[in-house]
Amino acid sequence: MTIQTQAQPSAKGLATPKPRSPQKLDSPGPMRVSSQPSIPLANYVATECKVQVSNLHAGFGKSEILQGITLPILAKQVTAIIGPSGCGKSTFIRCLNRMHEVVPNAWAQGTVALDGVNILERRVDPVLVRRRIGMVFQKPNPFPTMSVRDNVLAGLRLNSLGSESADDTVERRLRQVALWDEVKDGLGRSGMSLSGGQQQRLCIARALAMEPEVLLMDEPCSALDPIATARVEELIHGLRKEYTIAIVTHNMQQAARVADTTAFFYMGTLVEYGDTDTLFTRPKERRTEEYITGRFG
């Protein structure tokens, strides 16, 4: 059974009530054919694939960063994206919720199908996409003028959302990221007063308050100490029961610890994708083995 990659007529809450014309992206010029290996997508039935990326090209102006990426993001699993600096990992993950296009001269072409709907289509509202696909960035970024409590509620208030009481939402989300017991007596203090690891968990709680289905993490532990990193990794293990997670990391040990599947990127192409244990112990591609063993990168 093959994975569905074409957008369906119904956008399932992603399309705007009336079609609008978003900012026109600069033309990328002629596309180059990727030399990446074919991925056995038929191994995954459609119900297992939450986001199906097919032939994704992206870049800035005339520069092409991603050269035809095809990759499944499996439902309620953790997918790690690894590879050397500059290989397109962050560009890829930012394409998954259309954050890439907010950068001047950025463009993206191909298919990023969320539950069968291509979110790159013009009829799809990127704001609605980002409600369903949340993101946590490399550096913790709590809003500096807001309290811990208000940081959790920020996205809900901005979008006029929320069906339960604010206090219940704050407690539930902070408990979900194992932060409630540490901050419950200081919800009114600035989010910036927390430690780095606590700030990152607060940002994750803020993302989860929007009730996303997919959570993207772009090197979420790169600015954290080992103890804080371990807390975030423990959190990821718990969140995989409810959310589909894609994480960019330079730490291969971290990928091995938290990810169910791993994709190795190199110079804008997907070199290898598969089960994490298999990829790290029995890689099929020579470049994958060389990167994992530290021969380059």
Average pLDDT, whole number, for the chain?
85
Query: d(Cα 188, Cα 166) in Å, to the nearest integer?
Result: 14
pLDDT band at 12 (very low <50, low <70, confident <90, very high): low
Compute the distance between CA of residue 253 and CA of residue 266 in angstroms, rounded to an integer: 18
One of 2.115.10.20, 3.40.50.300, 3.20.20.450, 2.60.120.620 is the CATH number of 41-292, namely: 3.40.50.300
Per-residue confidence at 7, pLDDT binned at 50, 70, 90? Answer: very low
Smallest CA-to-CA distance from 246 within 64, 85, 49, 27 is with 49
Phi and psi based region of residue 13 (left: phi greater than 0; alpha: psi -120 to 50; beta: remaining):
left
Residue 282 has a pLDDT of 95
CA dihedral (135, 273, 254, 213) in degrees, to 10, reads 30
pLDDT of residue 25: 32
95: tokens are: 């394409």
Identify the band that residue 3 occupies on the pLDDT scale cut at 50, 70 and 90. Answer: very low
Percent of residues, the chain, with pLDDT higher than 90: 72
Tens digits of per-residue pLDDT, 150-188?
999 998 887 676 656 889 999 999 999 999 999 999 999
Confidence tier at 193 by pLDDT (50, 70, 90):
very high
Residue-wise pLDDT for 18-71, tens only, equals 444 433 333 333 333 334 444 444 444 445 899 999 999 999 999 999 999 999
Q: Global pTM?
A: 0.83
pLDDT in tens, 74-131: 999 999 999 999 999 999 999 999 999 999 999 999 999 999 999 999 899 998 999 9
CA angle (153 as vertex; 152, 154 as ends), nearest 5: 95
Q: What is the rounded distance in angstroms from the CA atom of residue 266 to the CA atom of residue 255? A: 16
So where are the chain's domains? 41-292
Tell me the two tokens of residue 112: 């990023």
236-295 tens-digit pLDDT: 999 999 999 999 999 999 999 999 999 999 999 999 999 999 999 999 999 999 999 888
